[in-house]
Amino acid sequence: MALLDGKKAVILGAAGKDNMGQTIARLFAAEGAEVLVTGRHEEPLADLASELGGHYALCDITNHSEVHALAKTAAEKMGRVDAAINASGWGLLANLLDTTQEQLDQIVALQFKGVHHFLQAFVSVMKDQDPQGGSLISLSSATTKALINNHAAYIGTKTGAEALIRCVANDFGQYGIKANTVSPAFTESPMTKDSFAVPGLVDAFLPKYPLGRLNTSQDVAEACAWLCSDRAFVTGQNIQPNGGLTLRGNPQAVDIEAAVGAAMAKQQGG
């Protein structure tokens, strides 16, 4: 039997081609789940749903009404919701002193209020379905434990969302609802393509990983699949599928500048 055989799962934040949400959705389908993918862009969602033999729906996590409608639609289409994963996020790189009010409003709406909408909507569905229960996951970041420069608004909102997850785990475990955070680190994906192209940048990060490599989107998907399976008697936790980064901490700006500078000097000298 596959790990998620017969489970009904919603993956929010899967509208970017080959992004982390899509990687999670593909693994869930491969492990036997019926999957509904959702996000803001119809074409990639429709393509992925067709590929997986599943469903799709449009939803902006910052819109309270749309998120609640999504939860109801998912339950109606699939009969119930056993797992809901929020893979949305915005990697805002901005110094505290330079962060604008507009940026702050946007990231709070996405990474704090949006997570609250997500949890509220799917807890409502999961506690009333028969049998009760399900698994909720919101993706966070290793940076909430291993600080990195120029990410104050990002880290602050991700940390707030982690607190929401713990509260849900504490308050709604009586309904059989598990709630956990999964925290990747510096992950190669369409969103980080430009960063990975910077000479020397990866070199600054690699020594910080005891297991010797950066985590992949697949590593994150595997952690999510286990947490949503019946094998995981886990709730209220922050799972770190990032090769031990939090043991050593992220490189700081001075370390990154040195690594990038050395790589560029080598290129110019070579």
Q: Residue 238: what pLDDT? A: 98
| The one-letter amino acid at 234 | V
Per-residue pLDDT of the chain (270 residues; tens, 9 = 90+): 899 999 999 999 999 999 999 999 999 999 999 999 999 999 999 999 999 999 999 999 999 999 999 999 999 999 999 999 999 999 999 999 999 999 999 999 999 999 999 999 999 999 999 999 999 999 999 999 999 999 999 999 999 999 999 999 999 999 999 999 999 999 987 777 777 777 778 999 999 999 999 999 999 999 999 999 999 999 999 999 999 999 999 999 898 888 878 877 778 875
Q: Say if 269 falls within a structural domain.
A: no
Spatial distance between the Cα atoms of 134 and 13, rounded to a whole number of angstroms: 19
Q: How many domains does the chain have?
A: 1
Q: Say if 65 falls within a structural domain.
A: yes
Q: Say if 252 falls within a structural domain.
A: no
| The one-letter amino acid at 78 | M
Please check whether residue 11 is in contact with residue 36, taking contact to mean a CB–CB distance below 8 angstroms: yes
Give residue-wise pLDDT tens across range 174-187.
999 999 999 999 99
Q: Say if 43 falls within a structural domain.
A: yes
Look up the domain containing 41 and give its range: 8-191+211-246
CATH number for the domain harbouring residue 20: 3.40.50.720
Q: Residue 270: what pLDDT? A: 58
Q: Say if 147 falls within a structural domain.
A: yes
Q: Residue 234: what pLDDT? A: 98
CA-based end-to-end distance of the chain: 54
